């Protein structure tokens, strides 16, 4: 009889075996893993004491889908969640935000195991790393970064909420909201959400800082950690950082211009506090989704701006969704290059690869088709509801933002099913498409080139 014994260093010899998984493409594996995680989360919420009045299976499924896709749309009152329900949602949006494969690799590493080449390839694809490299180093960075930022965010928020709510509830709410912000989940346990605290300087800057950093992408954050100087960063990092700053500052100025005199949004506060509230309103549509004002009270111009921001989303390989900032920047650069008669787009002394341009345009087109289809179905299924409310809901679901004009609970089950499919596709779809398109394939037959009239 053979008795298992640990090695001299007491480490487990754990090897991630993926012989069966290798037969399938990484996008399919990721989609199935997220789908199974949603089902498991739904069962945990349905069978356990997740809410005071209890959850139906449908409510549990929607809540699990919203949590795993880090959206934040809700069909139940989150104030009724028990501690058990809060813990389940906390775990789900961590797994959905940081990535299931990241946690799987981290678990193997903590157990002292080895991640084979197949496992590293799968994790690299899940983290949107098309270039070869030590993916385990990136996993360590992601884990350390997430824990450090959530801990710092918790301590900062605790200085405000512990005196207000007491030690236990203050610390728990501080940690939950720090984690929710960093993972761009947009879930709040406070009775009125973050509305009473939106103009509080510390709460405002900590929460917005967490979801902006979480939305930059772990590739960019790792690049910043290693190189420390903007001039030495990769082109992807430069485009993401400059695009994020451009969108945030532009949206901030536009929101202040559109809403300054709106008595239901910015004008509820003194003029000295309005810029802080406008800042929160400008950056939260980039996938975080914390509700701080009545969205249906916004002016039409602000509503359209927010829908655009939700569509763009955050950075690649981040806790945010949308088409991604780098995709948006590549499309803008490619359009500029075409108008100037240049062969390829350039930025920061680098030329953007044509494969990246094709991927960017394809992601944008397919994402637009997805949002249009979702909105078309919602309008058909809900003829008695306002069209703008339904379109806003569709954009929010695709961008996994969670902002709503107050209609989520009133939608029929088929419409909520459309939202769940859109949330799932918004979190998985463009990313999976980018993975699939990242592999060049040689054409077996070359056809004669011909011109097509455009425009």
Helix (H) or strand (E) holding 346: strand 346-347
Q: Among residues 88, 112, 93, which one has the least CA distance to residue 15?
A: 112
Tokens found for residue 129: 């790393």
Of residues 217 and 452, which shows the higher confidence score?
217
Task: Point out the least confidently predicted range of 3-12, 62-71, 232-241, 268-277.
Answer: 3-12
DSSP line for 212-239: HHHTT-HHHHHHHHHH-SGGGS-HHHHH
Reduce the DSSP state of residue 15 to 3 states and report it.
strand
Say if residue 122's pLDDT is above 70. no
Which residue intervals of 166-291 are DSSP H helices?
A: 167-182, 201-214, 218-227, 235-259, 274-283
Picking from 118, 155, 87, 135, the residue whose alpha carbon sits closest to that of residue 16 is 118
The percent of residues in the chain predicted with pLDDT above 90, rounded, is 37
194-212 pLDDT, tens digit per residue, is 888 888 899 999 999 998 9
Task: Work out the pLDDT band at 419, boundaries 50, 70, 90.
Answer: very high
pLDDT at 106: 53
- Position with higher pLDDT, 167 vs 222: 167
**pLDDT: is 348 or 12 the higher one?**
348
Which pair of structure tokens corresponds to residue 414?
């088929």
The arithmetic mean of pLDDT across residues 135-147, rounded, is: 73
pLDDT at site 229 = 84
Token couple for 211: 């979801």
Q: Mean pLDDT across the stretch 241-247?
A: 93
Angle of the 117-126 helix axis to the 26-47 helix axis, nearest 10: 70
Between CA 11 and CA 112 the distance in angstroms is: 5
Q: What's the whole-number average pLDDT of the chain?
A: 81
Residue 405 CA to residue 306 CA, distance in Å, equals 12
Model pLDDT, residue 87 = 93
Burial of 52 (0-12, 13-18, 19+ CB in 10 A): exposed
Task: Copy the structure tokens of residue 60.
Answer: 């549990």
Instruction: From 87, 25, 95, select the one nearest 65 (Cα to Cα).
Output: 95
Q: What is the tens place of the pLDDT at every residue in 58-85?
A: 999 999 999 888 888 888 888 888 999 9
What is residue 70's predicted lDDT score, i.e. its pLDDT? Answer: 86
pLDDT at 39: 94
pLDDT-derived band at 267, boundaries 50, 70, 90: confident
pLDDT at 395: 94
pLDDT band at 4 (very low <50, low <70, confident <90, very high): very low
- 221-260 CB burial, b ≥16 within 10 A, e <16: bbbbeeeeeeeebebbbbbbbebbeebbeebbeebbebbe
- Domain ranges in the chain are 21-437
Least confident of 36-45, 124-133, 225-234, 374-383: 124-133
- What single-letter DSSP state applies at residue 23? G
Q: Which positions ≥6 away from 307 have C-beta within 8 Å?
A: 391, 392, 395
Residue 53 has pLDDT above 90, yes or no: no
First to last CA, the chain: 77
Q: Under DSSP, is residue 162 helix (H, G, I), strand (E, B) or coil? A: helix
Quick one: pLDDT at residue 8? Answer: 40
């Amino acid at each position: 009889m053979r008795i298992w014994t640990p090695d001299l260093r007491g480490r487990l010899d754990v090897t991630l075996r993926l012989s069966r998984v290798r037969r399938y493409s990484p996008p399919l594996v990721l989609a199935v893993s997220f789908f199974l995680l949603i089902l498991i989360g739904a069962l945990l919420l349905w069978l356990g004491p997740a809410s005071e009045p209890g959850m139906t299976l449908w409510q549990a499924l929607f809540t699990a889908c919203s949590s795993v896709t880090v959206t934040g749309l809700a069909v139940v009152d989150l104030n009724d969640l028990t501690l058990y329900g809060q813990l389940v949602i906390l775990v789900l949006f961590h797994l959905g935000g940081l990535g299931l494969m990241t946690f799987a690799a981290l678990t193997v590493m903590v157990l002292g195991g080895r991640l084979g080449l197949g496992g590293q390839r799968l994790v690299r694809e899940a983290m949107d790393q098309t270039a070869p490299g030590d993916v385990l180093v990136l996993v360590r960075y992601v884990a350390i970064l997430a824990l450090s930022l959530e801990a710092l965010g918790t301590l900062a928020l605790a200085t405000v909420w512990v005196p207000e709510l007491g030690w236990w509830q203050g610390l728990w709410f501080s940690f939950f909201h720090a984690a929710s912000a960093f993972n761009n989940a947009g879930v709040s346990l406070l009775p009125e959400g973050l509305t009473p605290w939106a103009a509080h300087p510390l709460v405002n800057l900590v929460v917005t800082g967490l979801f902006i950093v979480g939305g930059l992408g772990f590739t960019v954050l790792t690049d910043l950690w290693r190189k420390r100087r903007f001039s030495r960063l990769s082109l992807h990092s430069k485009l993401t950082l400059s695009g994020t700053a451009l969108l945030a500052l532009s949206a901030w100025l536009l929101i202040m211009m559109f809403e300054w005199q709106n008595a239901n949004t910015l004008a509820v506060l003194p003029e000295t506090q309005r810029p802080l509230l406008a800042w929160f309103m400008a950056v939260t549509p980039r996938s975080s989704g914390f509700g701080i004002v009545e969205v249906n009270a916004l002016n039409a111009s602000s509503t359209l701006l927010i829908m655009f921001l939700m569509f763009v989303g955050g950075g690649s390989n981040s806790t945010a969704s949308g088409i991604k900032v780098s995709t948006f920047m590549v499309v803008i650069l490619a359009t500029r290059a075409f108008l100037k008669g240049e062969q390829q787009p350039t930025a920061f002394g680098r030329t953007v690869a044509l494969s990246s341009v094709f991927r960017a345009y394809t992601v944008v087109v397919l994402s637009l088709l997805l949002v249009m289809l979702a909105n078309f179905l919602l309008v058909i299924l809900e003829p008695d509801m306002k069209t703008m409310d339904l379109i806003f809901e569709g954009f929010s679901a695709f961008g996994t933002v969670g902002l709503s004009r107050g209609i989520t609970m009133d939608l029929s089950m088929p419409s909520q099913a459309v939202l769940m499919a859109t949330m799932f596709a918004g979190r998985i779809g463009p990313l999976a498409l980018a993975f699939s398109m990242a592999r060049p394939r040689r054409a077996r037959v070359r056809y004669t080139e011909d011109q097509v009239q455009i425009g």
